[in-house]
Amino acid sequence: MNEALWALGRGTGVVALLLLTVSVVLGIVTRSGRPLLGLPRFSVTLVHRNSSLLASVFLVIHIVSLFFDSYAQLRVVDFFVPFLGAAKPFWLGLGTLALDLMLAIIVTSLLRRWIGRRVFRVVHWFTYALWPVALAHSIGNGSDGTSVWFLALALASVVLVAVAVAWRVSANFIEFGNARKGETR
């Protein structure tokens, strides 16, 4: 039983991280206002939202399964308060920190219409902290964190996010950006 919980906890953690990577990349590129690889703009936004939702579901399974796993020695306080863990407190704490950020981002996303765009956006920017913290947690805490296949996946994720960020800060990122600046040619 413990073996099964542990496997479930590992697997769902990896899947949650990969889904989070997809969501982060799409969240960055959707800001350009351009369609992506044949996906219309509204689909990019929908896939961004749905991959985050799916990541949250996998994250819940990840946390609950490891809570019942005796090796991880999780307590309820470790869900929300970082760096108090019994095993690998620093790396576990990063996971807790990522969860706290994730909760704040989920709540403000769901309440976007009522809290206004400014609060939503400021909290949403914390995704840029959440994602590297979650990645560090998976490498430092994960049983597979330093295995070759996982590091390859992590490296690919870093490259994807880095490319998205590089495009985000480049001059031609915003669709119609040149027309709006008056540089029509």
Partner 1 sequence: MSRERRPAATLHIDWTLCDGRGLCTELLPERLARDEWGYPLARDGSGGDVPLAASQLEAARDAVALCPRLALTLRKD
Contact residues for partner 1, defined by CB under 8 A: 30-31, 33, 40-42, 45-46, 112-113, 117, 175-176, 179-180
The three-class DSSP label of residue 137 is helix
Nearer to partner 1, 122 or 151 (CB): 122
- Of 73, 93, 71, 91, give the one whose Cα is nearest residue 83: 93
Closest Cα partner for 134 from 55, 74, 70, 68? 55
Nearer to partner 1, 41 or 88 (CB): 41
Report the nearest approach of partner 1 to the CB of residue 56 (Å).
19
Residue 100 burial by CB count (10 A; 0-12/13-18/19+): exposed, middle or buried? middle
Residues 75, 57: Cα–Cα separation, whole Å: 20
Q: From the CB of 41, what's the least distance to partner 1, in Å?
A: 5
Neighbouring-strand partners of residue 39: 36
Q: Which is nearer to partner 1, 31 or 75 (CB)?
A: 31
Nearer to partner 1, 153 or 174 (CB): 174
Smallest separation, CB 177 to partner 1 (Å): 9
- Least Å distance, CB 34 to partner 1, is 8
